Structure 1
Amino acid sequence: MTTTTAAATAARMPPQIPYIIGNEGCERFSFYGMRNILTVFLMTSLLMAVPEDLRKAEAKEVFHTFVIGVYFFPLLGGWLADRFFGKYNTIFWLSLVYCAGHACLAIFEDNLRGFYFGLFLISLGSGGIKPLVSAFVGDQFDKRNRSLAQKVYDAFYWIINFGSFFASLLMPLVLKHWGASAAFGLPGVLMALATLILWSGRRKYVHQPARGANPHNFLKVVGTALSSGGLGLAIAAMGALAGAYSLSRMGSLGFVAAVCLAMVLVMGFGGVGAWLQLDRARGKHPDEAVDGVRAVLRVLVLFALVTPFWSLFDQKASTWVLQADQMSKPAWFQSSMMQALNPALVMILIPFNNLVLYPLIAKAGIRVTALRRMGMGIALAGAAWIVAGVLQLWLDGGEAVSIVWQMLPYALLTMGEVLVSATGLEFAYSQAPQAMKGTIMSFWNLSVTIGNLWVLLSNVSVKSPSAMDVIHATGYSETACLMFFFAGFALVAAALFGWVASRYPMQDHYRD
């Protein structure tokens, strides 16, 4: 047998992958089916008791609070899987919680508390399985066939958008013609189907067992490093004080924003302090664990610089939908249906990039690395919001703007998404040592929580008298100023990401 033939035989696609991808397609339909009509439903039904001039801000706050929950609970899911149940069992049981959440939305369409409880269950279920499904995909590969992993992650991301595309087109029409119970109930049926598909492949998967109580896990090593005293502990203490101050501002910031900001401050300062004296943990913890923590902390710097991208990306389901309401469009077309353009473009761009664009760039002698893709993606998101800001200026000036114009910022944002999100999944998995796969995938999802936190904080900050004075001095509307602010936020982050990425040492942590 020749070397080429042997390599081809070894690099075989795992037969269990279709079960995971089928599960993901149905689950994503269920998630985006309810998510993409959430802002419209809140504005037109559930929040009608809120005065009209405050309803838009309230709907945005509820939407982004929900998204924060979805991307916060990966920490819980990762911990349960690593410590007790393993990835498959945790995914399965949290999927049942997820189904219950959809049922609550369908049943309590006119009950605020019941509906919000359903959103909580969906954020718990969807968020809890998020880091596990993508890491579960990576578990099915080893170093013999890891060359196929990026293709599967691209297919994984393609099927996510396949489900999102049909959900974005159909659910606004179902909501309009058949009501909220049907519009929120149908995604629940798809989530039940997703759970059934996952269960059907249970005997075919590679199951990495739960590691149990690990005395050398991420938090234990960080705690040992900080408890040794010195400058690192002082920096961590500063983070704790800053977090306590954030909690004291709960009245003005809101509960979710204050708690999340406190968490970010504690994590940020604590991470810096641990990095400075991580070597003090050696001896009490094996070198492998200490080096693993250093690898995770190094990646977290890059993840922090990705958070502005998520600030921009997730507002397409809130700020851009509200902008679309102001635009001229056919009578049958619902504003939230415009979001279908995003997954449609993703399904085109992923194969185009892999089959055409990246090979052409490689032939030109330019290395298309994961980090270069991600940095460019953040910059493209900033460009998309510059265009959206210009459209808002036209609307504010009284011009009749066709919704067709929104296709341009959607195209730029979607190209940025493909470069950041699809690439980031495989990058995050490959950079984590085996013992910290769940940890680093949870942090990847947590970056989305922080991105939505920036949205909540900006919406609070813009209401301050000093901010309003600056906005009035520009002559632009509050919405337009926020759009240009977020564009600049992303462009600065892209520049910093490129600088940090140029100094980042790539790792390869696939199993042997």
Structure 2
Amino acid sequence: MTDTRNSRMPAGIPYIVANEFAERFCYYGINAILSVYLVNFLHFGDAQATSWQSLFKSAAYFFPLVGAIVSDVFLGKFKTIMIFSSVYVIGCAMLALSSDGAGIALGLGLIAFGTGGIKPCVSTNVGDQFTAANQHLIERAFSWFYLSINAGSLISIIACPWLLPHYGPKFAFGLPGVMMAFATLVFWLGRRNFAVVPPAGKAWLRDVFSKDGLSIILRLLLIYLFVAFFWSLWEQSNGQTWVLQAQSDLMDKHINVFGLFSFDVLPAQIQSVNALFILMLVPVFSYGIYPFVGRFVTITPLRKIAAGLFVCASSFIVIAWIESRIQAGHVVSIWWQILAYAILTASEVLVSITALEFSYKQAPLRMKSFIMALFLLSTSVGNLFTAVVNDVMVQPLQASSVETGDQTWVSLADAGKMVVGQKIDFAGDTGVTVTVDDQPQPLAGTFMVAEVDAAAGRVRLMDAIHRKPIASDGQFNSGAAQVSTYALVGPMYFLFFTAVMSGGALLFIFVAIFYRERTFVRGVADASDAEALAEEH
């Protein structure tokens, strides 16, 4: 028998891999420093910064739905990727050059539109490059592809947080923008090397809106609702509340590894351990935990997801404990947050990777890109939930006056209900200037209660990172100032999400029991389907 296999990697693969490395560098670099930038440079409150970043990521994972439809029905993958990438580059330029809220919001919106639009196309574009003659090389190509994702994200998460304090936001956001422009250029240069699969057109619409197609979509959406809560928690470790927690000086960010080497990490760099834990834990689960547990119980995708939801909730218990220690004024080692990352990454292996595989198998052949987009939509919903929580939990305070000087006291109607370590946000034209890190700035953003004088109806402020007294001057403008606090105080914020995730995990058990799986795999009839599709075009 003649061996008809082709041992050469498709010519388009290097362009796709280089494009993915640069694009992931861009997205994760921006995401790593966004909350820190909003809090430290624009003086957003912690809740507002978390809400903004959650909305940004929610949009980034909503637009894959648009990208999948544009690609599968109308334009095909190459044109879709080029159009959305161009918008992406424009958004990056706006983000790097803007210094006001409106410009930043528009830049983030364009970035979300761009990265979301290309997301459902890039991975499936890898598979499109192969035929029966070289399909044995697909695994190697995807290994390069996912290595580029992890390399791009890891390098940017380390580099961009360092650039922000040393060279400012223009360089910190500018470098990701340059990388995205490079990604677009590389993909365009590879245009003559790509195998192009035409859009499915009417066939895709017929499959999606058929009775069977709608049934599959509705069944999967039920699963994705629970996965959305997982993403609500997981995404907070990705540049959001976990990073803001790590900014506190009470978190000792010195890492000493068995005396072999030691170094200090920046708050936004800590999230890079997630990529390292992924590389470690995937083989541990695949070759150790799954085979061992499989001796006693049948392992199914839905059982993996259910276990992962509980594991995810437990990571937030660790974070809540850290927050309680910081609120009480105690120093906590960064190793405790690294432990939380290890637990959260284990849940990611159980939930995210499993749900991705489950989604692919449950999707009919011509609906796989669309189902992948629906799976990504669960991340959008999870981030939207986080944004809503951070918006709703903000409670206005009635501040009548501010006593300025070497220490800053704020007179509040409900001062007696405040506790040491509780956050207070200031916005609007307060009329007061404070000194933080020896730099004067408006009384804006998040501060903490250092002392409560209930008898006088006032609280003393300290800065949220260094917990030092706030020196101030000026005249408080009570009519224009906006003062608020959070209903979920300190560790209660993280325990709230623990409770939500635990409740969702319990409900998911019943869903998993009654869910009936259907697996769609490629069969011999696919060739005739492809011929019929070609005739329609």
Q: Could you state the TM-score of these two structures normalised by the residue count of structure 2?
A: 0.71
Aligned-pair identity in percent equals 39
- Structure 2: 5+ residue stretches without partners: 255-262, 397-413, 423-486, 527-537
Change beyond 3 A, Cα 1:360–1:19: farther
CA contact (8 A) 1:91 1:128 kept: yes
Alpha-carbon shift at residue 333 of structure 1 (Å): 3.1
CA contact (8 A) 1:161 1:346 kept: no
Q: For 1:312 and 1:472, how far apart are their aligned partners in 2? A: 27
- Structure 1: 5+ residue stretches without partners: 222-288
Alpha-carbon shift at residue 464 of structure 1 (Å): 6.4
Q: For 1:509 and 1:458, how far apart are their aligned partners in 2? A: 40
CA contact (8 A) 1:64 1:452 kept: yes
Find the counterpart in structure 2 of residue 189 from structure 1. 178
Alpha-carbon shift at residue 184 of structure 1 (Å): 0.8
CA contact (8 A) 2:10 2:130 kept: yes
Alpha-carbon shift at residue 336 of structure 1 (Å): 0.9
Q: Does 1:34 align with 2:30?
A: yes
Change beyond 3 A, Cα 1:98–1:133: same
Q: Does 1:378 align with 2:378?
A: no
Q: Does 1:504 align with 2:516?
A: yes
Q: What is the root-mean-square deviation of aligned Cα atoms in Å?
A: 3.4
Which has more helix, going by share of residues? Answer: 1
Change beyond 3 A, Cα 1:148–1:352: farther
Q: For 1:421 and 1:148, how far apart are their aligned partners in 2? A: 25
Q: For 1:91 and 1:306, how far apart are their aligned partners in 2? A: 27
Q: For 1:389 and 1:144, how far apart are their aligned partners in 2? A: 54
Please give the secondary structure, in 1, of the residue aligned with 2:308. helix
1:180 to 150, 155, 169: 169
Change beyond 3 A, Cα 1:213–1:99: same
Show the 5 A alignment for 1:231-250.
Answer: none
Please give the secondary structure, in 2, of the residue aligned with 1:36. helix
Report the residue type matching 1:33 in the other structure. Answer: G
Find the counterpart in structure 2 of residue 448 from structure 1. 379
2:276 to 340, 344, 348: 344
Alpha-carbon shift at residue 15 of structure 1 (Å): 6.6
Which has more strand, going by share of residues? Answer: 2
2:241 to 305, 309, 319: 319
Find the counterpart in structure 2 of residue 259 from structure 1. none
Q: Does 1:60 align with 2:50?
A: yes
Change beyond 3 A, Cα 1:420–1:17: farther
Could you tell which deviates more after superposition, 112-121 or 336-345? Answer: 112-121
Alpha-carbon shift at residue 389 of structure 1 (Å): 1.1
Alpha-carbon shift at residue 158 of structure 1 (Å): 4.6
Could you tell which deviates more after superposition, 152-161 or 314-323? Answer: 152-161
Alpha-carbon shift at residue 157 of structure 1 (Å): 4.4
Change beyond 3 A, Cα 1:113–1:82: same
Q: Does 1:435 align with 2:446?
A: no
Report the residue type matching 2:341 in the other structure. Answer: Y
CA contact (8 A) 2:327 2:490 kept: no
Change beyond 3 A, Cα 1:477–1:120: closer
Please give the secondary structure, in 2, of the residue aligned with 1:478. coil
Q: For 1:378 and 1:497, how far apart are their aligned partners in 2? A: 9
Find the counterpart in structure 2 of residue 492 from structure 1. 503
Change beyond 3 A, Cα 1:151–1:478: farther
What are the Cα deviations for residues 456-489 of structure 1, in whole angstroms up to 9, with x where unaligned?
2222343469xx9xx999x996231121121122
Alpha-carbon shift at residue 163 of structure 1 (Å): 1.7
Alpha-carbon shift at residue 78 of structure 1 (Å): 1.5
Q: Could you state the TM-score of these two structures normalised by the residue count of structure 1?
A: 0.74
Alpha-carbon shift at residue 165 of structure 1 (Å): 1.4
Show the 5 A alignment for 1:282-361.
Answer: 289-316=210-237, 317-326=239-248, 327-330=251-254, 333-358=265-290
Could you tell which deviates more after superposition, 97-106 or 15-24? Answer: 15-24
Alpha-carbon shift at residue 11 of structure 1 (Å): 11
CA contact (8 A) 1:91 1:132 kept: yes
Q: For 2:216 and 2:152, how far apart are their aligned partners in 1? A: 34
Q: For 1:91 and 1:294, how far apart are their aligned partners in 2? A: 30
Report the residue type matching 1:209 in the other structure. Answer: P
Change beyond 3 A, Cα 1:10–1:431: farther
Find the counterpart in structure 2 of residue 244 from structure 1. none
Report the residue type matching 1:334 in the other structure. Answer: L
Equivalent residues, number: 427
CA contact (8 A) 2:47 2:391 kept: no
1:23 to 19, 22, 25: 19
Q: Does 1:78 align with 2:103?
A: no
Find the counterpart in structure 2 of residue 395 from structure 1. 326
Pick 1 or 2: higher relative contact order, CA cutoff 8 A, min separation 6.
1
What are the Cα deviations for residues 102-147 of structure 1, in whole angstroms up to 9, with x where unaligned?
1122222x23322222111100100111122233345456899989
Find the counterpart in structure 1 of residue 351 from structure 2. 420
CA contact (8 A) 2:73 2:200 kept: yes
Change beyond 3 A, Cα 1:463–1:180: closer
Alpha-carbon shift at residue 413 of structure 1 (Å): 0.8
Alpha-carbon shift at residue 214 of structure 1 (Å): 5.7
Show the 5 A alignment for 1:98-177.
Answer: 98-108=88-98, 110-140=99-129, 156-177=145-166
Alpha-carbon shift at residue 339 of structure 1 (Å): 0.9
